Chains A and B, each alone.
Chain A
Amino acid sequence: MTNVLIVVGERPQQKSVLLEALRRFRDQGASVGIVGDFPADALTVDVDLADVHPLAATPADPRLRRALARTQQPSRALWLRSWRDPWVRRRVRTADVLVALDSTAIHTVWEMAQRQPRADACNGIGAAGRVVRARHEGTYRPTRGALDEVSARAGIVVRGVRRAAVTGAKESLEAAMAPAVLRSGVGGRLWRSAVSIPGLPERVRVALAYRVHLRSVQSGRPGLAAATTTAAAARMSSRRARADLLTREANGELDLGHVPVCLTEAVAAELALADEFLPKNKVRASRSLHKAMRLLFHRVPHFDQLSSPLAERPAEFLAPLRASTTARALAAPRGRATPAAAPPTGRPLRLLIMTNGNAHFLREIRQRYAETPGVELRYLHLADDPIAGPLTRNPGGIVEHLVAGQSEFGNRVEEWLRPHLDWADTLFVDWCVATAAITTLVDPGNTRVIMRLHSFEAFSFWPHLIDFSRVDDLVFVSEHLRDLTTEVVPALTGARAPRLRVIPNAMDLTGYQRPKDPSARFTLGLIGTSAVAKDPRWAIEVLRRLRATDERYRLLLVGGGLNPDASESVRHYEEALSTDLAELEPSGAVTRIGHVDDVPGVLSGIGSILSSSVRESFHCALVEGAASGAVPVVRDWPFFADRAAGARTLFPADWVVGSQEEAAARIRATTASEEVWRAEGAAAAEYATKTWDWTVVQHDFDELFLPRAGRQE
């Protein structure tokens, strides 16, 4: 019997190869254990093939947790976690063959091999297969002797002593980077000089510069952080090392909830690396591009703050992307071999609706076209599809396909999507996210392709992964989103751009007109508080101003709260909001009621409906509130306030306010008496219903889906 222990450091990539090897090992009489850092569902293996033992995601041992916190290297961390596990130690004691399945696992197997001198230590399952076969066939010849064992034991002791010394030195170094030191002029200059000492080994310079950079940011000295990085980068000859340092620092700051001080430099460095790879290795180029895009469109700068550099200065912010050859290769229009066919005349139009996002905005649309004569409707939510679901969770695959022009990922998309494209006359993709991007990886044939962009997509990398030369119509829900998106995505202008349309969201507003209790007059409502962009603290400030003169005003916050685990910047906002609520909730000034299904019911108790957001595309909840007869009070969404279109062009001018003071003034005026309040509310309800109710908007969708030539009235 040969005992084999396989160590896995990363999510196994070649499962079929592994399973085949395990079957061979079993047939050759081997007993196999597999340990590693992977979720239990990432590796399903029959019990007769191997005993699979995933390491605990969060170790219980506090000493181990401290050791892990000090360890930067994933390969070392895997060893530390493995060796503290009794199951692993038992297996190592009896192992004849130790196998590293991937490069992260190599160090763990190397350390195990020092402790089990009898075993072979193999890099890769193929090498292990040759040893197991030799043992099985009796041709195995051991090459190690007793001296090797003594030498291995001595090595363990020596390395232990050396590591203890290095750990002590590192701790001293950390102390010398205390905030007080970095805030002092002398301390800052000292560290800035230290990272740029000539002749410093690159690895040491990178490690030092990274630490000084992050400590400077944490000490409130972003200028020092940037200067340190610039000084270190200037001394680095390797483009890759420079990009690695900058992106590591940027990611470190994002983890802290900060917009990185060197974000542009990090993105530019990574894109330079991509451009260097591009002529010879498009896959590596695509990986660098994807890394750069993840940084550029990270949620912290765009979603978890009250402003976004993309909205404030799009051209400057996207300049590195525009300048990159790899990014231009990604955005190159591929077009379609045949134009979209005219709607069929002898049979119903086959309409396919697909999404992998929130399906809420499709309810009325699906219902109408499921019942429309002359339309055969199919609806696919890709997240529910076992094949398409994983395809929507692989933006890196999309980037690779677009840059390389060919990929395994693209082939999977072709296989899955083609039958659907062959069936559909018209494809409508809601949300310009993953489904839209994978759709345009393949030539749609003669199927007409329509997409809809709501809002957040414009601040993400998704529109940059969509080949709009394969899209016939792109629908926006408002003009200001259209304007911003066309500024951000060059593919939306020019000869190969799709037709751009603005059609409001589909909303059935008839059920919202319910009688309001007189007490609702002093109740402000904010529906939807699960994102920083909704800025509920703005609404609270409006309430404070109202209550300064009239304590009858109160605020109802409806909807799920913020998720502080999303990022540190969300946590910061959430902490500030909690402080506000701790002050105002006990007195009843603010009430949170969480998520509700019966929104019309809640609205019957709300007299003024607020839109306190920094950005919105349309704000359905506000419009629903207006339709209920609540007085709409809309902040002039700051992301769009300086643009030609925004809240002021979407809504009647008197609904929109420029400040909290103006908001308070409008509320005071419109709730001055019950009569005034009810009249204002009725006017708002009438306007909302006549403008945005589904009975009105559905005609725009009919025009979109069923151009007159193909419509069966």
Chain B
Amino acid sequence: MQSKLSPLAPLVRARRRRPRRGGRPHVIYLAIGFPPAAKSSAYRMRETANQFAARGWDVTVITLADESWEREYGLDHTLSVGVDPRISIVGLPLTRVDLETDLRAFSEARSLRPQQWIDQQRKQELQVFPEPVFGGWRPELEKAVLRVHREHPADLLMTTCAPYVNLAATWRLWDEHRVPYVVDFRDGWSVDVIGGGAAFAENSPAGRWEKRVLAEARAVWCVNEPIAQFYRDRYPALADRVRVVRNGYDEDCVPSTNHRPEPATGLTFGYLGSINFPPALLDSVLTGWRIARREQPLLARSRFEVRGHIGAGALREANAHMELLRAAASDGVEFGGPLPKAEVAAAYGRWDALVLMLVGGRFVTSGKVYEYAASGLPVLSAHEMDHDAATVLAGHPLWTGAVGLDPRRLATSFSEAARLALEATDDERAAARAHALRYARSAQLAPAVAEVTAAITGATATTGQISVGTSTEGGQA
């Protein structure tokens, strides 16, 4: 017998959709990580919601309650300032038990075998939905979506992944009420963005879920062309509905002017972003930094400032990355913790060059590459050579180029970035900013939201940008 939770359960007969309230279309936006969650995905979510609101939609965001984010990367309320006040937010009391740091909340069994307990949890979560960690949230998410729809009938469900368990709630609303939906798949699910290729087979539980949900989607958004192509190849019937919506950058994060380097006191290199790549990558960069300092007096008196979130739960700012950074303090490396969104532009304004540390390869773009490109600063790439960030940076006049992760080659890149920082002219900096203009976040999302609006409401698809009131507001890095 099939479980009620199985994607293979018989379809419930579709019910008639209720009329709109007050004539305004209503979108339920399933966006786990919406502001004030201090997550890198929050910017894209904020812009998406604002774009819908600006185009005349009632927007109800479903995310987690603020307390839930405390266990992860915490909160940045400056991010919420930029959220259109017309947007309603529903915070669900879902938490990640694996990130619990109060040992009094542990059972004796969990205290004895913490890892096995987590493994057991994972197995149970997978029974509910084939996604570890988040699979167990399925019933609550489904209930929440149905409740919101009951209270205010939706014309569209916009769902953004990860987590992929959102697809279950998306399907449930479609299954029961035939509410059309768009999946903002960002980095995709069945594509292994780190290793390349497929992460799971089409006939696996996750594969069956993905295939079924995407088949009925009005549109599927991805953050770059390689991921989009992966989905076009995997599901040919879906090809004309797959669209690239790059992450882009928020214009308020870009400094209006750059700091003038002072060779006598040394330069300041900066990194801004979540530090969630393998420790070995960070170590290669720090090793390259040390080698460069050994060989170049200018770098020997320079600093490398690292800002962002490190680790979650028990490992928050107490993991292998943190150890590497603390141990590198004598090499001019400073870790300053996360940076509120409102302070991002100022940080770029006082730095001389940026270090772009990224995991993965051609399927990974990241969000920060756009911001880096638009900063007008030299950008040192620390990622694989065949990486989508290289596509974004190709032609950027102050880019050192992708040399891979060999520490000696990275040391050369540090020297090159230092040279660019010292020698870049105002024209070159302006050209660097101009290079990134097309990646402004609103320029990326506005046409996509316009298309969806047109498809659902029949409104003319005005693809031009609409002011959504965030360009001068703060946010979170």
Any B CB within 8 A of the CB of A402: no
B63: min CB distance to chain A, Å: 23
CB contacts (< 8 Å) of B327 on chain A: these are 16
CB contacts (< 8 Å) of A19 on chain B: these are 326
Given A14-B319, A110-B106; A411-B287 close (CB under 8 Å): yes
Contact A414 B108 (CB under 8 A): no
Which residue, B113, B199, B290, B405, has most C-beta atoms of chain A within 10 A? Answer: B113
CB under 8 Å from chain B, chain A span 16-36:
16-17, 19-21
CB contacts (< 8 Å) of B103 on chain A: these are 98, 100, 106, 109-110, 113, 121-123
A165: min CB distance to chain B, Å: 15
Any B CB within 8 A of the CB of A172: no
CB under 8 Å from chain A, chain B span 108-129:
108, 111-115
Contact B280 A107 (CB under 8 A): no
The 8 A CB mask of B244-262 against A (1 = contact, 0 = none) is 0000000000000000000
B119: min CB distance to chain A, Å: 9
Given A107-B112, A122-B103; A16-B326 close (CB under 8 Å): yes
Nearest CB in chain B to that of A280: its residue = B195
CB contacts (< 8 Å) of A110 on chain B: these are 103-104, 106, 108, 111
The 8 A CB mask of B61-105 against A (1 = contact, 0 = none) is 000000000000000000000000000000000000000111110
Contact A415 B290 (CB under 8 A): yes
Given A107-B112, A415-B290; A406-B405 close (CB under 8 Å): yes
B111: which of A21, A75, A404 is its contact (CB, 8 Å)? Answer: A75
Any A CB within 8 A of the CB of B163: no
A20: which of B280, B281, B326 is its contact (CB, 8 Å)? Answer: B326
Which residue, B103, B195, B281, B284, has most C-beta atoms of chain A within 10 A? Answer: B103
Contact B112 A404 (CB under 8 A): no
B323: which of A16, A279, A410 is its contact (CB, 8 Å)? Answer: A16
Task: Report Cα–Cα, A96/B101, bound state, in Å.
Answer: 16
Any A CB within 8 A of the CB of B408: yes
A697: min CB distance to chain B, Å: 39
Contact A124 B315 (CB under 8 A): yes
Any B CB within 8 A of the CB of A408: yes
Contact A13 B323 (CB under 8 A): yes
Task: Report Cα–Cα, A406/B283, bound state, in Å.
Answer: 10
Task: Report Cα–Cα, A685/B433, bound state, in Å.
Answer: 83
CB contacts (< 8 Å) of A111 on chain B: these are 111
A14: which of B108, B194, B195, B322 is its contact (CB, 8 Å)? Answer: B322
The 8 A CB mask of A386-424 against B (1 = contact, 0 = none) is 000000000000000000101110111011001000000
A73: which of B112, B278, B329 is its contact (CB, 8 Å)? Answer: B112
The 8 A CB mask of B282-324 against A (1 = contact, 0 = none) is 0110010011000000000000000000010111111110111
Any B CB within 8 A of the CB of A125: yes
Task: Report Cα–Cα, A113/B194, bound state, in Å.
Answer: 41
CB contacts (< 8 Å) of A14 on chain B: these are 318-320, 322-323, 326
Contact B114 A106 (CB under 8 A): yes
Contact A15 B323 (CB under 8 A): yes
Any B CB within 8 A of the CB of A90: no
Contact B111 A126 (CB under 8 A): no
A408: which of B279, B318, B329, B408 is its contact (CB, 8 Å)? Answer: B279
Contact A280 B287 (CB under 8 A): no
CB contacts (< 8 Å) of B287 on chain A: these are 411-412, 414-415
- In the complex, which range does the number of interface residues on chain A fall in? 35 or more
B384: min CB distance to chain A, Å: 10
Given A14-B319, A17-B322, A20-B326; A73-B113 close (CB under 8 Å): yes
CB contacts (< 8 Å) of A563 on chain B: these are none
Any A CB within 8 A of the CB of B334: no
Contact A17 B323 (CB under 8 A): yes
Task: Report Cα–Cα, A76/B313, bound state, in Å.
Answer: 23
Nearest CB in chain A to that of B283: its residue = A408
Contact B114 A113 (CB under 8 A): no
Task: Report Cα–Cα, A122/B71, bound state, in Å.
Answer: 13
CB contacts (< 8 Å) of A127 on chain B: these are 101-102, 314, 316
Contact A124 B281 (CB under 8 A): no
Nearest CB in chain A to that of B284: its residue = A411
CB contacts (< 8 Å) of A55 on chain B: these are none
Task: Report Cα–Cα, A594/B311, bound state, in Å.
Answer: 57
Contact B108 A75 (CB under 8 A): no
Task: Report Cα–Cα, A490/B123, bound state, in Å.
Answer: 41
Given A406-B405, A411-B407; A124-B101 close (CB under 8 Å): yes
CB contacts (< 8 Å) of B283 on chain A: these are 407-408, 411
Task: Report Cα–Cα, A13/B322, bound state, in Å.
Answer: 11
CB contacts (< 8 Å) of A351 on chain B: these are none
A406: which of B108, B280, B320 is its contact (CB, 8 Å)? Answer: B280
B213: min CB distance to chain A, Å: 23
Contact B326 A17 (CB under 8 A): yes
Any B CB within 8 A of the CB of A103: yes
CB contacts (< 8 Å) of A21 on chain B: these are 318
Given A16-B323, A17-B323; A106-B290 close (CB under 8 Å): no
Task: Report Cα–Cα, A219/B112, bound state, in Å.
Answer: 32
Task: Report Cα–Cα, A113/B315, bound state, in Å.
Answer: 21
B102: which of A76, A123, A126 is its contact (CB, 8 Å)? Answer: A123
CB contacts (< 8 Å) of B210 on chain A: these are none
A394: min CB distance to chain B, Å: 14
B367: min CB distance to chain A, Å: 23
Any B CB within 8 A of the CB of A313: no
Contact B291 A415 (CB under 8 A): yes
Contact A406 B281 (CB under 8 A): yes
CB under 8 Å from chain A, chain B span 138-197:
192, 194-195, 197
Task: Report Cα–Cα, A29/B372, bound state, in Å.
Answer: 41
Contact B314 A124 (CB under 8 A): yes
Contact A126 B311 (CB under 8 A): yes
Given A75-B112, A75-B113; A121-B322 close (CB under 8 Å): no
Contact A76 B112 (CB under 8 A): yes
CB contacts (< 8 Å) of B100 on chain A: these are 123
Task: Report Cα–Cα, A73/B115, bound state, in Å.
Answer: 13
A162: min CB distance to chain B, Å: 10
The 8 A CB mask of A118-139 against B (1 = contact, 0 = none) is 0011111111000000000000
Any B CB within 8 A of the CB of A527: no
Task: Report Cα–Cα, A92/B287, bound state, in Å.
Answer: 42
Task: Report Cα–Cα, A407/B282, bound state, in Å.
Answer: 10
B165: min CB distance to chain A, Å: 20
CB contacts (< 8 Å) of A262 on chain B: these are none
Task: Report Cα–Cα, A165/B379, bound state, in Å.
Answer: 65
CB contacts (< 8 Å) of B111 on chain A: these are 75, 106-107, 109-111
A292: min CB distance to chain B, Å: 20
Given A279-B192, A411-B287, A411-B407; A17-B112 close (CB under 8 Å): no
CB contacts (< 8 Å) of A609 on chain B: these are none
Contact B323 A123 (CB under 8 A): no
CB contacts (< 8 Å) of A109 on chain B: these are 103, 111
CB contacts (< 8 Å) of B284 on chain A: these are 406, 411
Contact A126 B318 (CB under 8 A): yes
Any B CB within 8 A of the CB of A63: no
Which residue, B283, B318, B324, has most C-beta atoms of chain A within 10 A? Answer: B318
Given A75-B111, A404-B280, A406-B405; A17-B317 close (CB under 8 Å): yes
Contact A124 B313 (CB under 8 A): yes
B316: which of A76, A103, A126 is its contact (CB, 8 Å)? Answer: A126
Residues of chain A at the chain B interface (Cβ within 8 Å): 13-17, 19-21, 73, 75-76, 98, 100, 103, 106-107, 109-111, 113, 120-127, 144, 159, 279-280, 283, 404, 406-408, 410-412, 414-415, 418
Q: Can you name 10 A-B residue pairings with CB atoms under 8 Å?
A: A100-B103, A110-B106, A121-B104, A123-B103, A124-B101, A126-B317, A280-B195, A406-B280, A407-B280, A408-B324
Known: A103-B114, A123-B103, A411-B280. 15 other contacts (CB 8 A): A13-B323, A14-B319, A15-B323, A16-B322, A17-B318, A17-B323, A76-B112, A121-B104, A123-B100, A123-B102, A124-B314, A127-B102, A407-B283, A408-B280, A408-B324
Q: Which 9 A-B pairs have the closest CB atoms?
A: A124-B314, A16-B326, A127-B101, A110-B111, A121-B103, A14-B323, A408-B283, A411-B287, A123-B314
